[in-house]
């Protein structure tokens, strides 16, 4: 058991790029229950995760080096994806921050303007500025660039961390397929996201996947989804003469999924704007179709009781390039349908990566997946820590070779917060002593807050009814 624990600890250290002896800030909880090397199916942790299983098998066969290489390769690919996908957003933000240290204005005011221009949102921008300000008050020390980065990094991670940040799947005792209900306006990347997600589910999760082509309004939508079904090598249910409406196609897909023993059903919905009341009503209707067909109990009149636990996920796909402009629509859909998470696409082509933070915070919804490229493998699990590092140019995810930079900054933030608490305690015990020991004019807090100690690198990135439905099966590779 001791050897096993040591190996798992070693795996965690390798995937995050730090050694066990370096403490992590107590103020920042881990961004995921397990490192991203285990990726996506964290729900399977109780059953034994695939990556860890392969690592353990390699170790037991005396092939520890091979197992470690596999893990390291997976982590490297993930870091590269974040570094490349967030390059435009990172370069713009770091360039603006660099100008902060060479200007002559009010640094705190300039900092807030920069954060707002990065689409981080008013609340997050104010939080960061207030924390920077609090570290300066009552202290004779200047804050360095690293101190500023540690505050920004810590705040972003704290804001983006949610307990329910991973995809929820049906429990084994439910005996029903997992249903993922995918929403989004036209042009957001919804259909592409479904295709990439289906590919991951089949290849990484070894799941039997069915797509429901319920976007019956947009010309070419069904054909586009069929192409993705072919690429992902999964099955698809599409409209037929007897099932033309979105709700009818969905019911047919549910019947097929249950009868065919499918693990997961991915439901494509019609692209819509939030002010289209008819299409929003169609979404609500479709959700009730799912809840009724997957009902687990019946009422006193022997009618099915709507299963409020399904769909297992209602995911809204948003284009990162839209920035905060997508917020109003997202709020309407969240109110009318009830969203459980967000998927941010096209991060690689946008300089508005900061919008991830503002959208997630204002909707109080976790970002569960992000698109960082055009490849079929470029749909990634969202990890707050890697995202923050990618946006701020920190460590491997930020396009640098400094593997331990994130750990250093987390420790630095913890130290700053500890020093602030100690100053506050002294002030409570003896206010006069606190003012004398500080020896500064607190009215000058907004001036020369940050001392330049090292340049900020811009780190350029590289860039039911089976008879009524037409459910086609694709041949899979065995």
pLDDT in tens, 282-292: 999 999 999 99
User: Is the separation of the CB atoms in 187 and 319 below 8 Å?
Assistant: yes
CA distance 179 to 167: 11
Collapsing DSSP to helix, strand or coil, 5 comes out as helix
- Ordered by where they begin, the domains of the chain are 2-85 (no CATH), 172-381 (3.40.50.300)
CA distance 322 to 325: 6
* Band of pLDDT at residue 6, cut at 50, 70 and 90: very low
Alpha-carbon dihedral angle through residues 30, 35, 40, 43, given to the nearest 10 degrees: -70
For the segment 393-403, the average pLDDT, to the nearest whole number, is 82
In 3D space, the residue among 308, 346, 48, 329 whose CA is nearest the CA of residue 179 turns out to be: 308
Residues paired with residue 268 on neighbouring β-strands, in sequence order: 182, 213
For the segment 53-110, what is each residue's pLDDT rounded down to a tens digit? 554 555 555 554 544 455 455 566 667 767 777 788 888 888 888 887 776 667 888 9
Residue 8 has pLDDT above 60, yes or no: no
Q: Do strands 178-183 and 470-472 pair parallel, antiparallel, or not at all (unpaired)? A: unpaired
Residue 45 has pLDDT above 50, yes or no: no
CA distance 347 to 443: 41
Residue 268 has pLDDT above 80, yes or no: yes
Q: Do strands 178-183 and 264-268 pair parallel, antiparallel, or not at all (unpaired)? A: parallel
Q: What is the CA radius of gyration of the chain?
A: 25
For residue 74, what pLDDT is reported? 54
Residues paired with residue 345 on neighbouring β-strands, in sequence order: 319
């Amino acid at each position: 058991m001791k050897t096993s624990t040591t190996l798992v600890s070693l795996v965690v250290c390798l995937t995050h790029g730090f050694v066990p002896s370096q403490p992590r800030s107590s103020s920042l909880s881990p961004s995921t229950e397990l490192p991203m090397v285990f990726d996506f199916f964290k729900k399977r942790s109780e059953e034994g995760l695939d990556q860890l299983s392969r690592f353990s098998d390699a170790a037991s066969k005396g092939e520890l080096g091979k197992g470690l290489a596999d893990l390291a390769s997976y982590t490297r690919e993930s870091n590269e994806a974040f570094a490349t996908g967030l390059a435009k957003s990172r370069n713009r933000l770091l360039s603006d921050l660099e100008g902060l240290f060479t200007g002559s204005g009010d640094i705190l005011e300039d900092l807030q303007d920069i954060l707002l221009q990065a689409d981080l949102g008013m609340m997050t921008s104010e939080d960061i500025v207030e924390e920077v300000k609090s570290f300066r008050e009552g202290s004779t020390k200047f804050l360095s660039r690293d101190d500023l980065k540690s505050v920004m990094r810590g705040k972003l991670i704290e804001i983006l961390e949610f307990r329910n940040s991973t995809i929820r799947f049906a429990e084994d005792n439910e005996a029903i397929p997992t249903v993922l209900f995918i929403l989004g306006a036209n042009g957001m990347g919804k259909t592409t996201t479904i295709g990439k997600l289906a590919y991951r589910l089949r290849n990484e999760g070894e799941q039997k996947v069915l797509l429901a082509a319920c976007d019956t309004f947009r010309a070419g939508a069904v054909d586009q989804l069929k192409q993705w079904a072919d690429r992902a090598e999964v099955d698809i249910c599409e409209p037929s003469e007897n099932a033309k409406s979105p709700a009818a196609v969905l019911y047919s897909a549910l019947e097929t999924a249950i009868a065919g023993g499918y693990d997961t059903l991915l439901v494509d919905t019609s692209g819509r704007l939030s002010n289209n009341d008819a299409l929003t009503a169609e979404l609500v209707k479709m959700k009730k179709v799912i809840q009724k067909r997957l009902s687990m109990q019946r009422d006193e009149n022997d009618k099915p009781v709507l299963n409020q636990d399904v769909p297992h996920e209602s995911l809204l796909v948003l284009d990162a390039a839209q920035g905060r402009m997508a917020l109003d629509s997202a709020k309407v859909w969240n109110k009318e349908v009830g969203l459980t998470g967000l998927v941010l696409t096209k991060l690689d082509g946008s300089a508005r990566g900061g919008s991830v933070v503002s959208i997630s915070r204002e909707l109080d919804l976790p970002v569960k997946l992000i698109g960082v490229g055009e490849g079929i493998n470029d749909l990634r699990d969202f990890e707050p820590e890697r995202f923050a590092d990618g946006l701020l140019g920190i460590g491997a995810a930020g396009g640098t070779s400094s593997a331990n930079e994130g750990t250093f900054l987390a420790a630095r933030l913890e130290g700053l917060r500890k020093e602030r608490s100690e100053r506050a305690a002294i002030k409570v015990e003896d206010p006069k002593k606190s003012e004398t020991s500080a020896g500064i004019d607190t009215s000058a807090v907004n001036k020369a807050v940050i001392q330049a100690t090292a340049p900020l690198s811009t780190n350029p990135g590289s860039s039911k009814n089976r008879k009524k439905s037409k459910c086609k099966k694709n041949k899979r590779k065995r």
